[in-house]
Amino acid sequence: MTRVAFFPGCLIPARHPPMEFAIRYCMRNLGVELVDLEGASCCPDPIYFKSKDKLSWLAVAARNLTLAEDLGLDVVTNCSGCTATLSESYHLLQDEQLRAKVNERLARIGREYRGTSRVRHIVAFVRDEVGYETIRESLVTPLDGLKIAIHYGCHLLKPSKIMQVDDPNNPSVLEKLVSALGAVPVRHRNWYLCCGKACQIGDIPTNMMHGLLGTVNDEQADILCMICPTCFGQFDHGQLKVMKQFDEEAYTPPIYYFQLLAFAQGVPYEELGIERHRLKPECLRRFTSVAAEERKVSTDGAYQEP
């Protein structure tokens, strides 16, 4: 089994436990052992705390990375925000002066950053270390013919020199991950647009979302798939808000990629945590298979090892 340090961040564990459940479930099925990092904090977030003081932000990020260094493992992140912070910190800390400055801070708590653990977004990790074929082999309910619009979000791809995930002008990793489920990926015209969550003033975020959703809905996909929990929030309750504000009826229900994979690996629709979505991907119900129903669920709702 491949072992990696798992950095789930704040948003997924606290606000979207079903996403974390899906990741742990899927990774186990794909032969990856996720090792939890004891004592980890917020990455810290690349929008708010970074706006207060970059040096403190970097010092806290470096501390999180040292937890993985202690275990001799690379870090896998599941949130594009965490990936932005930790990848950028790894990159910035290659500068000797800055590293010395940060290590002075870390010395206050008896730690030292060495730069020995790489940071990888779970999407890149799955592509490179697991492979699309292994995903295909893990499926119980292939999503044949399901039309899936894709949203990459910003921090998976950019800045590309730092993130090193995919071509920022023509990425393919999400298309391929979706195809591995048997589904048909579609790229909407505004695929590169930001979800707008980080913008703090005025109508800009709403206008951005409106522009984005227009081209998503044009594709008439069954669902919209993404890999960032912040984008997900924008596409769920954010989409509802935009629909109300612009008095529009068309929508595309969003889902986080690993919940989709968990479904295709046999977790029944009712157990995916969809009841918490404002816009529900009911179209998935047509795939409910005998295999999925036979799967055993323990009394507290947790899954037994397959």
Contacts of another protein in 34-73 (CB under 8 A): 38-42, 44-56, 58-60, 63
C-alpha angle 78-127-19 in degrees, rounded to nearest 5: 30
> Of 49 and 132, which has the nearer Cβ to another protein?
49
- Which CB sits closer to another protein, 136 or 241? 241
Indicate whether 106 belongs to the interface with another protein (CB under 8 A): yes
- Per-residue interface string for the shown chain with another protein, residues 147-176, x marking contact by CB under 8 A: -------xx--xxx-------x--------
Size of the site for another protein (CB under 8 A): 70
Residues between 195 and 214 with contacts to another protein, criterion CB under 8 A:
196-205, 207-208, 211
Q: Which of 5, 193, 213, 221 binds another protein (CB under 8 A)?
A: 193
> What track of x and - describes contact with another protein for positions 86 through 105 (by CB under 8 A)?
------x-----x--x--xx
Q: How far is the CB of 205 from another protein (least distance, A)?
A: 7
d(CA 222, CA 282): 9
Q: Which residues bind another protein (CB under 8 A)?
A: 10-11, 13-15, 17-18, 20-21, 24, 38-42, 44-56, 58-60, 63, 84, 92, 98, 101, 104-109, 154-155, 158-160, 168, 192-194, 196-205, 207-208, 211, 273, 298, 300-303
